[in-house]
Structure 1
Amino acid sequence: MANAGKGGRWAGSRQAAWEFFGLELKARREAAGLTQGELGRRVFVSGGYIGQFEQAIRKPQKDVAARIDEVLQTDGFFERMWKKLIADSPYDEHFASVAELERLATKICEYTSTYVPGLLQTSEYVRALFLGSNPLADEAQIEDMVRSRMGRTSLLKGPARPVYWGILPEAALRIPVGGPAVMARQLDHLAAMARERKVLIQVLPFSAGAQPIMGKMVTLMEFEDAPPTAYTEAVLSGNLLDDPATVKRIQGYYDLLRAAALSPEASLALIESVAEDYRRCANTT
């Protein structure tokens, strides 16, 4: 979720700051006479994760940064730096680490419970969502929110884009966010991305009945040189999970959703049919 008033500022400088974070971590770990594995055991992550933090490949969570300070006796240095870097992110604190990981992922699988996933949204659709949840926000705030969200969507447009597999509930097609004209263009966008083979989309129809993790938002990410992660989100909060057993269990739930969903071909046909219904409705109003 984009954070109001921040926009998409200086991503390159922020990455340089994370690299400084990693260099400081390595220097202070070595000064304490600890290997990556030894520090990892003391802060309850793997030694490999410590190495990825030091190389700025992966960003630690807040509680890990705090435990590093305790072990290395750095008087809150790493937690303070973590807070500063997250505060300068265009995203809410609970989502900032996820946005960083999206850029590194080789594969992203998503399921949303109500709306079109963020990476697949149009600017009109995004604006309608943010206006709905921030009815008193001024235009500059709304523009910042839209800009941040649309910055994320560029991830799926380049030649190095990750494999993307999205499962949408039928409700995401039927809830008229922004009105019929906005929905028609949003669903046209989904159909175009699917037809251009940029993404793989399946629709979970109403007829599928009760399924695991329905009512939840789940993102699964895979990486070239790091273990997979899962992210789940609720109102103004989120959980980034990397415990292998937990991620494997969520992957199993996702596979069950995938099996219950319409085929990609049938999903595309439904998306285009609903888009046409919205178009007719927009033309008669």
Structure 2
Amino acid sequence: MDETNPPEDFNQAVGPLQGFGADVRRVRLGRKIKQKQLGRSTGYSESYVSQVESGKIMPSEKFAKGCDLAFGTNGLFAGLLRRIEEGDHPTQFAPYVHLERKASGILGFSTTRVMGLLQTQEYAYAIFRAGHPCETDEVIQAKVAARIRRREVLDRERPPTLWAVLHEACLRGHVGGPSVMAGQLDYLMELAALPGIDLQVIPFMAGAAAAHSVAFTLLSFKDSPTVLYADDPQGGRLCRRAAPVATAMQNYDRLRAHAMPPDESLAFIKTVREEYTP
């Protein structure tokens, strides 16, 4: 059906997602492959292919690799997607995202906002919009798409184990307004029901036990040392040195000790969720 369209000017694409989509469409048409055929080859619907080609959604790694197989492009589209992701993350954060994909275990402590891996699209949009008030909506949407795509690690056949400790402030801060917060807490409860995921809430009453700590994440691996990523005013940093990693692990154990147990934490999240109901 789309092959009957008039010739297109592929140079009109302005954003990275639009550019990726235009390249997929250009090669697909050059190979005389229909959207439905490409969808079958990559494991997606014709509608999904159409949305990728129009730059409306962030393509998955599976789709990009599927395009390379279908087109015989030897990793071209997988590489393009990786560069898009890195471009939508701060330079110092891109190495962390690469490691997060390989981690066998993730330990995260969130202070005033829910850690990125657990954010809903609406919550992430509110965070990025507040942090980049002068950027265009296209730029913000690209950052959101890159963040949401990180969730794919949780959808793998063998996902990493995830343990997240959230300060109560994460649940109380009205990020994006009541409806956005309601959706975010609903999503946290959905995640808590999945195997391999544990959530704990550390309440305000814990006092200095959590107040002295900055947000940080520990990534563990089957065949390499644990890595620490800690937030700071410059946007965060990776640390592989044994001593700081060991200290962070000790701090994390203390945070878990001061937090409510997982079952009580889930009940607490449900209670706070009700406060956002009109």
Please, what TM-score do these two structures have when normalized by structure 2? Answer: 0.68
Of 231, 246, 249, the match for 1:248: 246
1:266-285 pair list within 5 angstroms: 266-279=264-277, 283=278
Q: Give 1:181 shift.
A: 0.9
The offset of 1:236, in angstroms, is 3.1
The counterpart of 2:136, out of the listed 135, 138, 142, is 138
Asked if the contact 2:60/2:149 (under 8 Å) is kept, the reply is no
The structure-2 alpha-carbon separation of the partners of 1:86 and 1:125, relative to structure 1 and needing over 3 Å to count, comes to: closer
Aligned equivalent of 1:171, options 169, 172, 189: 169
Q: Does 1:106 align with 2:100?
A: no
Partner SS, residue 102 of structure 2: coil
Q: In the TM superposition, what is the alpha-carbon distance from 1:198 to its structure 2 partner? A: 4.7
* Correspondence list, 1:17-56, <5 A: none
Equivalence for 2:208:
210
Correspondence for 1:90 among 83, 88, 91: 88
Tell me, yes or no, if structure 1 residue 123 matches structure 2 residue 85.
no
| C-alpha contact (below 8 Å) 1:105/1:162 kept by paired residues | yes
Alignment match, 1:69: none
Corresponding residue for residue 200 of structure 1: 198
Aligned CA distance change for structure 1 residues 220 and 201 (closer, same or farther; 3 Å): same
Name whichever of 250-259 and 130-139 sits farther off: 130-139
Do the aligned partners of 1:94 and 1:236 also contact (CA within 8 Å) in 2? no
Identity of aligned residues (%): 37
- 1:118 Cα deviation (Å)? 0.5
Please report how far the alpha carbon of residue 88 of structure 1 lies from its aligned counterpart in structure 2 after TM superposition: 5.0
Structure 1, residues 81-140: CA drift from partner, whole Å, max 9, x if none?
Answer: xxxx79954311111110000001000000011101111100010011111112222221
Give the number of aligned pairs.
207
- Could you list the runs of 5+ residues in structure 1 that have no partner in the other structure? 16-84
1:234–1:6: structure 2 CA closer, same or farther, 3 Å change rule?
farther
Q: What is the CA–CA distance in structure 1 between the aligned matches of 2:262 and 2:60, rounded to whole Å?
A: 38
Name the Cα RMSD after superposition: 2.5
Pairwise CA distance, 1:154: 2.0
Distance in structure 2 (CA, Å) of the matches to 1:113 and 1:260: 14
Q: Indicate the SS of the match to 1:93.
A: coil
TM-score w.r.t. the length of structure 1 is 0.67
Indicate the residue corresponding to 1:229 in structure 2. Answer: 227
Amino acid at match of 2:204: F
In structure 1, how many angstroms separate the alpha carbons of the residues matched to 2:190 and 2:245? Answer: 31
Deviations 1:161-208 (A, max 9, x none): 100000000000000101111101110110111023352100010011
What is the distance in 2 between the residues matched to 1:86 and 1:149? 12
Distance 2:85 2:115 in 1: 24
Q: Which has the higher contact order (CA 8 A, sep 6+)?
A: 1
Alignment of structure 1 residues 53-64 onto 2, 5 Å:
none
1:267 Cα deviation after fit: 0.4
Task: Specify the SS of the correspondent of 1:253.
Answer: helix
Question: Given the superposition, is the C-alpha separation of residues 10 and 126 from structure 1 closer, same or farther in structure 2, using an over 3 Å criterion?
Answer: closer
Matches within 5 A, 1:149-188: 149-188=147-186
Letter in 1 for 2:217: T
Between the aligned partners of 2:261 and 2:85, the Cα distance in structure 1 is: 41
